[in-house]
Amino acid sequence: MSKSWLRRIGIKLSFGIDSIPRNGRMVLEEGTSIHARIMKFRELSVGAKTYIRSGSELLNVREIGRFCSISNNVVIGQSKGEHGHPMSWVSTYPFQLEAAVPAAPDPSLQGVRIGHDVWIGREAMIMEGVNIGTGAVVAGRSVVTRDVPEYAVVAGIPARLIRYRHPPQLAARLLASCWWEIHEADLKKMPMNDPEDFLERIKVQRSARYRTCILTKSSWRLVE
């Protein structure tokens, strides 16, 4: 399958499907744009209109929601030190990768999950097992080592809470509205600069129906 065919259904990839990890699987909604440099995930779903800029690394990550903005050179799912370089062993060198009896994987190390409408700045690093809530913002060059609440703004090394984008009541209403389920064409007609007015108008909007493409290293399938 050529990338030009994917572009016709609104999906932009900087790589061919042969770059998808062996035994890996991607589920991409219409309008996604992915320009990752390294991919090592087992299964990854990416929601409609989300973009990932060039130089980024998709490692231990499982889910990225709709309308997310992920900047250049972002690392998602970076392994934690004790996982890749165990400090309690004889050496921190990863001997276990070539050992006759490899170390058992840690089942607690889950793939990163990112909600909808998340903005991640340039060169940020998201450690494995972290969940980033809908509406959150991660400042550039931050290192995120723990879960980020919905609509939180975090920054620093390690990333710490700076503030929230909206007051608690407004954030709760935005979450309850599930506005990301509305089609982009309708959202563009809405007063996105006025959350209160937006929430009043959202009640009469139609739900989106985005096409989905399922990709593996050797196959693809379009789901209408």
Distances (CA, A) of 50 to 35, 57, 103, 104: 11, 15, 36, 34
Helix (H, G, I), strand (E, B) or coil at 162: strand
166 assigned to active site = no
* Tokens representing residue 176 in the block: 């309850």
| Catalytic, out of 35, 83, 85, 183 | 85
Dist. CA 151–CA 174, nearest whole Å: 10
Dist. CA 121–CA 110, nearest whole Å: 23
* Tokens representing residue 131 in the block: 């969940």
Tokens 């970076």 sit on residue: 78
Distances (CA, A) of 173 to 110, 169, 176: 29, 6, 5
Give the active site residues. Answer: 85
